[in-house]
Structure 1
Amino acid sequence: MELTKILYRFSVNFKAITGIIIFLLFVNQVIGQVAAAPYKWGNWEAWGDLGNGKYANPVIPADYSDIDCIRVGDDYYAVSSTFQYSPGFVILHSKDLVNWETLSHAVSNLNEISPEMNWDKMNRYGTGIWAGAIRYYHNKFWIYFGTPDEGYFMTTASNPRGPWQPLTHVLKGKGWDDCCPFLDDDGQLYLIGTNYADNYKIHLFKLTADGRSIIPGYDNIIHQSEGSEANKLYKINGTYYHFFSEVKPEGRAIMMERAQKVNGPYLEEKQLSYAQKQFNEPNQGGLVQTKRGEWYFLTHHGTGDWEGRAVSLLPVNWVDGWPIIGKVSAEKIGEMVWQGKMPVKSRHIKNSTTNDEFNRTVLKQQWEWNYQPRSDKWSLTERPGWLRLKAFKPVENNNLLKAGNTLTQRAFRTQANIVTVKLDISAMASGQHAGLSHFGKPGYAAFGISCKGIVKTLQLNIKEHVFEGPVLHGRQVWLRSVWGQDGKSRFYYSINGKEFYAFGDKYQLAWGAYRGDRIAVYCYNNLKDEGYIDIDFLHYRYR
């Protein structure tokens, strides 16, 4: 009888334990399925340096399109296209490939490219400075980039902070993009680039020793395919590798071909990663090797959402002599990787500066004007500790896209973003508009003050839908924008810097003219060159 009870209890307990085990296995399977589920673009809970020896992509959740990257000693440098913004061609610096700071810009005067990029023309939306590359040769930095209307330009500097030499116009003509210099072991300098106006033929030019001119008679077409661009040229272990991207039926994919001579023929070709439209097509970027010998690929995501073309860092695995980007599939093609080990022990600085107290005599490097500004219409010294923006007539009245005194920086796609700006509006003149904007083309939202006569009124302009607010009687006003990962901005104002009140409709941040959304401060006058505002600070906090 006792033996029967013992066996019965064992049977019950065994069934219970078995049930628990089955349940736990089921839960584990479900968790595994969730973990393996496709990552939805834009809904990342974490990004960049995680502070635990790992990082999460994107490493920069903002618009740094056409990224390229090199290492010089212990330092990494990246460059990004800037289109019509000034100063142009931004240069980033990092010690670990994940935490980046804005170091400088290579182009201080866009008029060296074209007068169409000046404040009185403003005719280069969607064009201007396109993709380029940075290299380090002969103890100095070399930068090359293209503009689709003017051709290829170059500049050099012994220090990446500058000063950078005035631009040299290397190749004049329309329809060129995505160039990169290459210095061979024998000291010969080359330039590779795409003529997209001629069915995307990729040319290899010989350059003079100073890199400023193309040697006549040497123009070798080394490749042509659908949409082929994003060119880089490398020599690794004696083999020449031509990196590029091209358009396939499933989207833009990263490709590579190799040869034993720099001018080819490039007969061996390999796809390095899938197009992956669900992850906004990681494609253009730069291969870089750490001091420990590990390889990485710093890339933008070529399909821009409202934040623009964000930046990710992908591990590189060499397979059969090819640098496969990301996780290697059974087909030996790379797939997107969302987290990884920090390439170098981090300082955990997270990202570029965003705040500005305007307490210096120069603007911080995160700022870029919309087009080349009027140097006499802004000042950091006339009222120390404040940025003064002086109003002048726009190219077109009531059109922020044609108003020349607009100062911008990139908007981030993170879980929470708050931008607050404090303005002194006491010197505004009739016809003047000034304030805080989410800026892009073709749409924008301008939240600020409209002055008619001596009456100053709060106003929000969203796609020409104008919300009129209260009359402002004080000298100062605080303006604020708040948004999250969905990119829906809500505007607020305050007259004392403490109590903030929501105002107007929400505004959906947007992608346009190949650029992501930007936060901006603006100041113009439809009637005459008169009036100004002073800006005490702009605080931008995000997580």
Structure 2
Amino acid sequence: MNKDYVLLSNEGKWGDQGDGTYVNPVLPGDYCDPDVISVGEDYYAISSTLHCSPGMAVLHSKDLVNWNVISHVVEDLTVIGPEYRHDRMNRYARGVWAGAIRFHDHQFWVYFFTPDEGLFVSTATDPAGPWESLYHSWEIAGWDDCCPFWDDDGQGYLVATNFADNYNIYLFKLSDDGKQILHDSGVVIHQYKGSEASKLYKINGLYYIFHSEVRPRNGEEVRVVMMLRSEHLYGPYEEKELIHTHGVEVDREPNQGGLVQTASGEWYFISHQGAGGYFEGRTLHLLPVTWVDGWPIIGEDTDGDGVGEMVWGGKKPIQGYPKTILTVNDDFNSPVLQSQWGWNHQPKADTWSFTERRGYLRLHACVPSEKNDFFKISNILSQRTYRVPHNVVTAKYDLSGMVDDQETGLCHFGQTYCTIGIHQQEGTRVLKFNHSNTIEWGPSFDTTELWLRSTWNLYGENRYEYSLDGENFISFGEVYPLGWGPYRGDRVGVYNLNHEREQGYVDVEYFNYESGDKKV
């Protein structure tokens, strides 16, 4: 075994270790459905965002281990369709699914499907933005996981899966401008149960179609990473498994991702933890790739069978770059939304601001489109939670703009939700804990300043606390088990609503997220 790589999971550790090595995951939060490219000595990746706005995160790295979000491709989800509006919010688990990023003709291209609205394309000369307005290339439902490819003669192609029709993987030609599918050119290039996650490459004169399939392993069905290879784009193709998948608890099922080559010629695979289920969602992993007889092997071939095994760390691909601290805190001094944040669907315009009161996030209270349904509250601003041993989020609220029937506070949500907040009734502000509509009331307050805190550990056991002075915190409510869903890791953030009328506001002075190795 190559001594540069570690095969065992390093529970609680992640990313750059500061000594020239790294531990998987390289990002311990929900950076799902990644694709990656290299442009010179820079690496760019995308990650799907589903129903969160802005959509399709773009990340940058110099060493494939330390990543930062630098932009989003979709600023307004309502350009995709009306179901993303604040008064509908009907695209949970849908929205911006897996896509692909490529550099072609001196610009960056991102293609993705939404499962209901179809194929979208955007370009940018700078991956940090701005990105061109989305082009709705194909209005259709039931497709996903697309990837463009331009051959040596300049002809463009697109590979994509029709999951609504038995998971057929199609190959299409693209128009000269790269934005239109030539529908008459479509041919089925591969089909197997659950076959998707396709990427198309040409390496050393051979065509490769990367994808994953659902196959039986150890008594359960799991996603398995496969590769098709041919001398000709339209085949015939031969197929090979690239990495063994033993089950979610063993290797966490790496599958959706992309191959990338460094400037020095080494190959790597960027993937997510495919099965999800853990509260942090599908985390970002980096695995080495070796080539044997014209086939890539992902991970480490420990038994010589030509198929890789999951590795949980190793030597950094590129040395000399410092560890990057993920941006999670916000003092709301910037006039624009910072990259770590995402709205739950598209927020209602003109009801939030960073400039109405400088140095604060002002959220105006809106009435949910359905009463007593947390998932219909507009303007919930949240970010990813991370699975590390020590996590503490503290937010400070100015309540002086509250009115009757208004409620504001701190929230976690995945498949279920849990909040701690203040609910004003008949001029009195009362502490409120709400776990999926099971409510516990606390003391009432006259103060206009309130600090709310969420603390969770490596296992997603969360407790809420509150404070009236920012120093002495009191626990309130039961332990809440963080969870994922729909197809997203747990989100932590701030919310504000009025149960009866469009009145009232709250000012959030800061949102501090402390995370690290200290156990809680």
The answer for the alignment partner of 2:354 in structure 1 is 380
| CA deviations over 1:11-43 (Å, ceiling 9, x no partner) | xxxxxxxxxxxxxxxxxxxxxxxxx99846xx6
The answer on 1:271 being equivalent to 2:238 is: no
| CA deviations over 1:230-275 (Å, ceiling 9, x no partner) | 0000000000000000000111110001111212221x11100112
The answer for the alignment partner of 1:9 in structure 2 is none
Residues 252-331 of structure 1 mapped to structure 2, 5 A cutoff: 252-266=223-237, 268-277=238-247, 278-304=250-276, 305-328=278-301, 329-331=303-305
Contact 1:386 1:535 in 2 (8 A): yes
Given candidates 210, 213, 216, the residue that maps to 1:246 is 213
Contact 1:95 1:346 in 2 (8 A): no
Counterpart-to-counterpart distance in 2, 1:96 and 1:215: 38
The answer for the alignment partner of 2:438 in structure 1 is 465
Contact 2:396 2:451 in 1 (8 A): yes
The answer for the alignment partner of 2:472 in structure 1 is 499
Contact 2:7 2:310 in 1 (8 A): no
Residues 19-58 of structure 1 mapped to structure 2, 5 A cutoff: 39=8, 44-58=11-25
The answer for the alignment partner of 2:321 in structure 1 is 347
Contact 2:142 2:163 in 1 (8 A): yes
Contact 1:60 1:351 in 2 (8 A): no
Counterpart-to-counterpart distance in 2, 1:425 and 1:440: 27
SS at match of 2:371: coil
The answer for the alignment partner of 2:513 in structure 1 is 540
After TM superposition, the score normalised by the length of structure 1 is 0.91
The answer for the alignment partner of 2:404 in structure 1 is 430
Greater mean deviation of Cα atoms: 161-170 or 367-376: 161-170
Deviation at 1:276, TM superposition (A): 2.8
Counterpart-to-counterpart distance in 1, 2:49 and 2:243: 26
Deviation at 1:352, TM superposition (A): 2.4
Gaps of 5+ in 2: none
Larger Rg: 1
The answer for the alignment partner of 2:393 in structure 1 is 419
Amino acid at match of 2:391: N
Deviation at 1:44, TM superposition (A): 1.4
Gaps of 5+ in 1: 1-35
SS at match of 1:401: helix
SS at match of 2:350: helix
Contact 2:101 2:111 in 1 (8 A): yes
Residues 185-264 of structure 1 mapped to structure 2, 5 A cutoff: 185-250=152-217, 251-264=222-235
Given candidates 346, 349, 363, the residue that maps to 1:389 is 363
* Aligned length in residues: 504
Given candidates 491, 499, 502, the residue that maps to 1:526 is 499
Counterpart-to-counterpart distance in 2, 1:38 and 1:300: 17
After TM superposition, the score normalised by the length of structure 2 is 0.95
Given candidates 447, 457, 476, the residue that maps to 1:474 is 447
Deviation at 1:346, TM superposition (A): 4.3
Given candidates 463, 467, 486, the residue that maps to 1:490 is 463
The answer for the alignment partner of 1:74 in structure 2 is 41
Counterpart-to-counterpart distance in 2, 1:427 and 1:398: 22
The answer for the alignment partner of 2:86 in structure 1 is 119
Amino acid at match of 2:265: G
Counterpart-to-counterpart distance in 1, 2:38 and 2:151: 17
Amino acid at match of 1:94: S
The answer for the alignment partner of 2:30 in structure 1 is 63
The answer for the alignment partner of 1:445 in structure 2 is 418
Counterpart-to-counterpart distance in 2, 1:346 and 1:463: 47
Deviation at 1:306, TM superposition (A): 1.0
Deviation at 1:212, TM superposition (A): 1.1
The answer for the alignment partner of 2:75 in structure 1 is 108
SS at match of 2:164: helix
Deviation at 1:164, TM superposition (A): 0.9
Contact 1:119 1:404 in 2 (8 A): yes
Counterpart-to-counterpart distance in 1, 2:194 and 2:60: 30
Counterpart-to-counterpart distance in 2, 1:94 and 1:226: 34
Contact 1:276 1:282 in 2 (8 A): no
Deviation at 1:348, TM superposition (A): 2.7
The answer on 1:177 being equivalent to 2:164 is: no
Counterpart-to-counterpart distance in 1, 2:177 and 2:367: 43
Amino acid at match of 1:480: R
The answer for the alignment partner of 1:332 in structure 2 is 306
Contact 1:77 1:92 in 2 (8 A): yes
Contact 2:12 2:458 in 1 (8 A): no
Counterpart-to-counterpart distance in 2, 1:115 and 1:346: 47
The answer for the alignment partner of 2:489 in structure 1 is 516
Counterpart-to-counterpart distance in 1, 2:515 and 2:100: 30
Contact 1:48 1:350 in 2 (8 A): no
Amino acid at match of 2:229: R
The answer on 1:360 being equivalent to 2:327 is: no
Counterpart-to-counterpart distance in 2, 1:487 and 1:361: 33
Given candidates 375, 396, 407, the residue that maps to 1:401 is 375
Moved over 2 A (4+): 36-40, 346-352
SS at match of 1:70: strand
Deviation at 1:200, TM superposition (A): 0.5
Counterpart-to-counterpart distance in 2, 1:189 and 1:351: 38
Counterpart-to-counterpart distance in 2, 1:421 and 1:428: 17
Residues 126-165 of structure 1 mapped to structure 2, 5 A cutoff: 126-165=93-132
| CA deviations over 1:274-300 (Å, ceiling 9, x no partner) | 123222201110100000000000000
Contact 1:422 1:536 in 2 (8 A): yes
Counterpart-to-counterpart distance in 2, 1:127 and 1:479: 31
Counterpart-to-counterpart distance in 2, 1:229 and 1:446: 37
Deviation at 1:349, TM superposition (A): 3.0
